[in-house]
A and B are shown apart, each in its own frame.
Chain A
Amino acid sequence: MIKAGGKGKIYSLYEIAVILFYASVIAFVPVVLVVTYIFDLDARLNIDTFILWLVIGAAIAGAIGSVILLWRKDHLKRRVKPAYRTEFIYLLFLSVFFVLGFVVFFDYLGGDRAYIANILILITVLLIYILINLGRTFFKFDYMKK
């Protein structure tokens, strides 16, 4: 972490990689569920068992990824960019599929479809708030600033 003239901190690729990696791990299950939902794969397989395997897979990937991140920490700490635009765009798309996947997850678990719109709006608002703050603080991508 480097201080840039006291105006704002510039974060190294390590901090960005940590954010992106854990966001990917969290969004892994919902994103895969989006694919199963599109292609109607839930009709061909036992969705509960499938979700369980996905969670186990995400946990294993999370553990392996954490070790790799720690292993490459010094290398990534030395790399700094003035803004992380591409990385932020990745996070943005991940968030979209995470929101949709979450709703699909709710549907698979037998939730009432009448509440889907409410859940969608709540999660979207929350995610937009998180994204704007993350973008401004870590990615140096201030969307609100014209």
Chain B
Amino acid sequence: MISLKKKLFSDENLARIIKILVIILLVLAVFFMAIQFTSLWTWITDAIKAVIVPIGTGYLIALIFFPLIRFLEKKGIGPRWLSLLIVFILAAAVVFGTFFFLFPLVKQEITNFFTNDVNKIIQYLTVDMRVNFVLGTDIYDQLVAYINETDALNTWLDTLVPNLLAGLSNIALPLITVISVLPIMLFYYLKDYEMIGERLRSLIPAKQEKTVSDLGSRLNQTVGAYLRGQLLLMVTLGIVATIVYKLIGLKYFYIFGIIVGITNIIPYFGAIIAAIPPILFAFISAPVGPGPLLVLIVNLVLQGIEGNIFQPIIMGKQLSMHPLIILMSILFFGSLFGTLGIIFASPIAASIRVFIEYFKERKAAREAKEAAERPVAP
């Protein structure tokens, strides 16, 4: 007897579902196998990391430098090595000049801080804070007694220094390698920029060449725009914050200004991280210097102008995303890749959007083509 009941899945769909399930199972099996050989994988990933980190850094810096080289070449300054040399000399002059002038001033501020203000902070934490403690002096005393009893502070301090040293020694060698290899790598990368692109393109199968090449150039454009814009904003905001802090009479304005510039790379959270140290310092050192409220207002105004006027104009529509998407990507990529994930959350999210939009455009174009080819009913 033939059943007339409609099937839940067609044979074609069922076959597809089984195929997907088998693939998922195989992937899980591969993961399971991989977990069994952790040390081998660590060895392999370390080796890959040693190559990827300088290449990746070189690629990102090349995205900043290449438009400058193209600009010089457009103005007739060539051949390539000459424009490259000019850009290299200019970059080196800017970096060394900044260090030469800025380093002694920052060093002076750090020395002053440890000579004059550390004692004030300790005095505040032990005496003034007790009197002004929000929950009352009794709870403050109990908290201090608990910290002293458990020796939590000393244990934390004892582990802090070795951990910091271990962390520094872990990143010192890769950092030295990157710094020493980077200029040479960058030179050849920029010199043969087009040739490298051509070679990479020649590796792609002819059928996918156009898709990959289009996507690649769009991604280059998006990440490049982000890096250049972000660098410009970081430097400008750092300078502006330093001057404004100095004008309102805040001590250690270089350090606080540099913090504002550096943390500006982290969307939303960077502004909060940068505002905390100067506000706390103003709070502790009151009535000397500007009040914490003024420092807070300065930070709010600076970040407000930067986020609402400068960022949209400089970054353009390429990187304009809903704040919720940026926050979610910060949380997601931050948990995946740590600090680097937080820093690059915005360009990664923008790159994903480039992918989605590209395939959407292709789908729309395909559908339009099919509609045009369809015979019109008489």
Binding site for B on A (CB under 8 A): 34, 37-40, 85, 88-89, 92-93, 96-97, 100, 103-104, 107, 113, 116, 141, 143
Contacts and interface: CB of A to CB of B under 8 A. Distances in A.
A96 B242 contact: no
Contacts of B309: 92, 143
17 contacts: A34-B243, A37-B246, A38-B239, A38-B242, A38-B243, A39-B101, A40-B105, A92-B309, A92-B313, A97-B239, A100-B240, A100-B243, A100-B244, A103-B243, A113-B247, A116-B247, A143-B312
A104 B243 contact: yes
Interface string B99-111: 0011001000000
A143 B314 CA distance: 11
Given A40-B105, A107-B247, A113-B249, A89 B313 contact: yes
A113 B242 CA distance: 16
B313 A143 contact: yes
B236 interface: yes
A132 to B, nearest CB: 10
A143 B312 CA distance: 9
B interface majority secondary structure? helix
Contacts of A116: 247-248
Contacts of A37: 243, 246
Interface in B167-201: none
B272 to A, nearest CB: 23
A85 B317 CA distance: 13
> What are the 8 tightest A-B residue pairs by CB atom distance, in nearest-first order?
A39-B101, A100-B243, A116-B247, A38-B242, A89-B314, A37-B243, A103-B247, A89-B313
A113 B246 CA distance: 11
Nearest to B257: A38
Contacts of A93: 232, 236
Contacts of B312: 143
Contacts of A107: 247
